[in-house]
Amino acid sequence: MNDDAFARLVAEDVKNLSTKMQKEYLMLPENWTRWQRALKALVDNLRRQLDNISQQENEALEKYQDLGEEGTRIITEMNMGFQERRKKIERFSYYVEQKYDEVTRMILLGGDQVDERVGLIEFYRKAIMKHRELIDEYELNPTNIDEALWAALDGKWQFDDITEESALASLGDD
């Protein structure tokens, strides 16, 4: 697919007008960076359009402000048109930037498996917390393996400090 067709596909996806097959095509890992670049180009283009509208407003004001009532009417009508265009571009730009952020996160975190990974991480976190609750509830003495597991919740890796001797010693603390 050439760059222009790909850019149109990306814009259609932002508008939720793409087909399931087109969405699947965008989700192919080999298309992620191209998708991100197309979204960035779209964001830049929309910003240029907004700048252009501001410039046109200023030019219209300079051109018609000295025409009295007729000039004021022309400026008012033009500004209404500019405001409508600006509103549409800003709304579309908002969705493009959201999609850009989403694609960037997908690239950084590894794709559509992110939700599954986050769910699995949360599952493990809850399991470790429940393990600790049960140790406390049944008034068991935690081993250094238990403590290393709990430290993992705080992002600390203490398993390398455990030896067979220290593991057996912590079992004998009952």
| Residue 116 pLDDT exceeds 70 | no
* Exposure string for 1-22, b = 16+ CB within 10 A, e = fewer: eeeeebbebbbebbeeebeeee
Residues 126 and 47 in one domain: no
pTM of structure: 0.60
| Residue 55 pLDDT exceeds 80 | yes
| Residue 112 pLDDT exceeds 60 | no
3-class SS at 110? coil
Residues 103 and 127 in one domain: no
Residue at which a domain ends, from 109, 134, 153: 109
**Amino acid 161: pLDDT:** 83
Confidence class for position 173, pLDDT limits 50, 70, 90: low
Domain count of the fold of the chain: 2
| Residue 17 pLDDT exceeds 80 | yes
Confidence class for position 82, pLDDT limits 50, 70, 90: very high
Instruction: Pick the more confident residue, 43 or 171.
Output: 43
Domain membership of residue 46 as a residue range: 3-109
Q: Which of 57-61, 115-119, 130-134, 139-143 has the lowest mean pLDDT?
A: 115-119
Average pLDDT value for residue range 78-89: 93
| Residue 136 pLDDT exceeds 80 | yes
Confidence class for position 66, pLDDT limits 50, 70, 90: confident
| Residue 113 pLDDT exceeds 80 | no
Residue at which a domain ends, from 62, 81, 109: 109
Residue at which a domain ends, from 109, 125, 159: 109
3-class SS at 16? coil
Instruction: Pick the more confident residue, 108 or 160.
Output: 160
- How many other CB atoms are found less than 10 A from the CB of residue 142? 16
Residues 75 and 150 in one domain: no
Angle between helix 144-152 and 114-137 (nearest 10): 140
Instruction: Pick the more confident residue, 95 or 108.
Output: 95
